[in-house]
Structure 1
Amino acid sequence: MASDQNFVDFVMEQIRNAGEITAKKMFGEYGIYADGKLFGLICDNKLFIKPTISGREFIGNVIEAPPYEGAKPSFLIEEKIENSDWLSELIRISLKELPTTKTKKKK
């Protein structure tokens, strides 16, 4: 099931204070970027954040699930998705640990 645009817009609004946030459509779902760095996915109207040590400590009681079949588990954000300040802070914390996006060389 593809994610609903209203849910994507809601998530984007909730995390607007975490940096320059963009969403890119990928196979009916969405990759979520902050300042050009991929940090999460929206799949089946659920928000998944890439796992980091600092993010795990910040969340506390982490729920992990794969965003799609065959994917590695990510942090599934459910209960606190409506807490914009908490969610934005989680993303800022996570971004510090995530590797920078590799630029593709032109052929």
Structure 2
Amino acid sequence: MSTAATTIDHLLDTLAALPLSARKMFGEYALYLDGKVVALVCDDQLFVKATPGAVTALPSTPLGAPYPGAKGHLLVTDALDDPDGVIMALRAVAASLPPPKPKTKPPKGP
């Protein structure tokens, strides 16, 4: 099952205080903040990377795997009723991740 575009629209609207962007990947979505992947949306569910800052912002949020074999992420459900905690968690994730690597252009041929 894949995530509906309406789910992404709803999440981006609910979390509009952040300059989030979404990118479709394999029928699911990655959410980006400051060019960094901070969350995944799989099967219409929001999974936030479980960094220490995110766990502090969403202390009672259970862990779940967005796909088989994935590391544990915070499975955000009820927390979206009060998006301030989710916004704090996403900011904490972005702050804890290294900057994105610059894209390199392939060398030009002869």
TM-score, normalised to structure 1, is 0.90
* Aligned residue identity for 1:88: I
Higher relative contact order (CA 8 A, sep 6+): 1
4+ runs of 1 displaced by more than 4 Å?
A: none
Cα distance in 1 for residues equivalent to 2:34 and 2:100: 10
Gaps of 5+ in 1: none
Offset, 1:83: 1.7
Gaps of 5+ in 2: none
Offset, 1:94: 2.0
Residues 1-25 of structure 1: per-residue CA shift (max 9 Å, x gap): 000111111111111212x211000
Indicate the residue corresponding to 2:53 in structure 1: 54
- Number of residue pairs aligned between Structure 1 and Structure 2: 106
Cα distance in 1 for residues equivalent to 2:2 and 2:81: 21
Indicate the residue corresponding to 1:65 in structure 2: 64
Indicate the residue corresponding to 2:85 in structure 1: 86
Indicate the residue corresponding to 1:2 in structure 2: 2
What is the RMSD of the two structures over their aligned residues, measured on CA atoms?
Answer: 1.3
Cα distance in 1 for residues equivalent to 2:100 and 2:63: 23
Calculate percent identity across the aligned residue pairs.
Answer: 31
Indicate the residue corresponding to 1:12 in structure 2: 12
Contact 2:63 2:72 in 1 (8 A): yes
* Aligned residue identity for 1:91: L
